[in-house]
Every structure is written in structure tokens, then in C-alpha cells.
Homo-oligomer: A and B are copies of this chain.
Amino acid sequence: MIDKTSPLPIYYQIQEMIRGKIDSNEWEPGDMLPSERIFAESYDVSRMTVRQAVTELVNEGLLRREKGKGTFVLEPKIEQTLQGLTSFTEDMRKRGLKPGSKLVKYNLDNPSLKFAEMLQMQGDQQLYEIKRLRLADEVPMALETTYMNKELVGELPEDIENHSLYYILEAEKGLKLGNGEQTFESSLARQEEADYLDIQVGDPVLLIKRMTYLEDGTLFEYVKSVYRGDRYKFTIKMPR
């Protein structure tokens, strides 16, 4: 089970082994792990090495230590709030609604001066403009427009999913995602928005703009979403 000749540290092997037993439900929430001493003995490693493995998982929120009692498997973590921010789909699923998406506009063209500047694009590069109507249980919730530089993201299918897109960028293109920024403002629906969202011009809407940057600071995507004010409430969970 533990390979002492492996280039991988022993504590890391133990750590992943524990994680595996939790993932596979061999160890379930509430279960007590073997005590550190027994653990160390049975794998013939030092107790401190076991502790290093366990400490990692405690920090990640998978395990809880209790002095005098033992180390226990915790309930799955509440949620990764900040990632949830980026995904309308997951957001809706959590609310028990069926997420949907309807493509409204799919455009690839030279950028306007405004976007060329914002996205730091060269003159010959092309800009995606993808407009989607976001649905929850088939009811329009938001009108979302995504802008991306084709130079960075490559060929895009019409049903882009940010989740996998980010993965492709990191894994295949070697790009490193940096920070993001999201703004919330209140506004009134304009004509186009009212049409798509099935509301009246002047009705309240929540305007969310998201900017995602690469590690070197270049803006990688700009997303503008207009949410129905009467149907949508945005929630942020704050750990601490």
C-alpha cells in the first residue's frame, strides 16, 4: 500500500490513501480512523509522518481531530462558494431548479475599439460574442453575454461550459487562470432585455459583470449578465 522507494513522499501517499477510502465510502462520515500510533505501526512509518498526512486533510476539512478521542471523518464540505459563483448551472441545481440555456447570438468578428482595449487584443485577432438566455425550469432568468478572445480559447462549440473550458485552457494550452472580479449593480430593464426575459421595460434587474483574468493579468473573459429582479436573488456564503 505504501511504497517507500517512490519519489512521492510517504505522507502524501498516506494522505491520498485516506482520501481514497473516504471517497469510496470505505470510511464514512462519523467513522473514527485508526489511531495515529496504530496507523504508524501498521504501515511501519513514524507517527509524525502519519500526523503530517492527517494534518493536511484536517486543513482541507475532510477530517476532525479530537484530543483524547480520535480522528473522525467529517461530513462532505459545505461548498466551494467562490467557484459556485461562476456557474449558473450549479447555482440553479442547488436551488432544485432545472437549469437550461438557449443560444440567442453566436458571433465571431473583429472587436470594437472598446473591447479590443479591454481585452488587450491585437487588430487581427477575433472576438467571440455569445449571447445566451438562461432558464430555470424553462423560465427565463437571465440574459448572459460572454466575450472571449479566440486567440486564447481556440475554437468554441456553441454549448460552451465554463467548467470544462477552464480545464482545457489549463491542461492543453498551459494557460494559468488568475483572479476574477464580479460586480453587482441594480438597474432597469432595457428593450432587448425586457423582450428576452419576458418583463416590462423599466422593471428592476440585477446586473452582474464578471471579469476573469489570467495569471499574468490579462483579461481572459468578460461576461455581462442581466437577471430578472423579481425572480433572482444572488447568494454568497462566507466562511470563517
Contact = CB atoms under 8 A, between A and B. Distances in A.
A204 B187 contact: yes
Given A184-B184, A185-B229, A188-B204, A179 B237 contact: yes
Stoichiometry, as copies per complex, reads 2
A206 interface: yes
Interface size class of A (residues with CB under 8 A): 20 to 34
A99 interface: no
A240 B237 CA distance: 17
A186 interface: yes
Binding site secondary structure of chain A: strand
Interface of A: 59, 78, 82-83, 85, 177-188, 204-207, 227, 229, 232-240
Given A82-B239, A184-B235, A236-B236, 20 more contacts: A59-B59, A85-B236, A85-B238, A178-B240, A179-B238, A179-B239, A180-B238, A181-B236, A183-B234, A184-B184, A184-B234, A184-B236, A185-B206, A185-B233, A186-B204, A186-B206, A186-B207, A187-B204, A204-B204, A206-B206
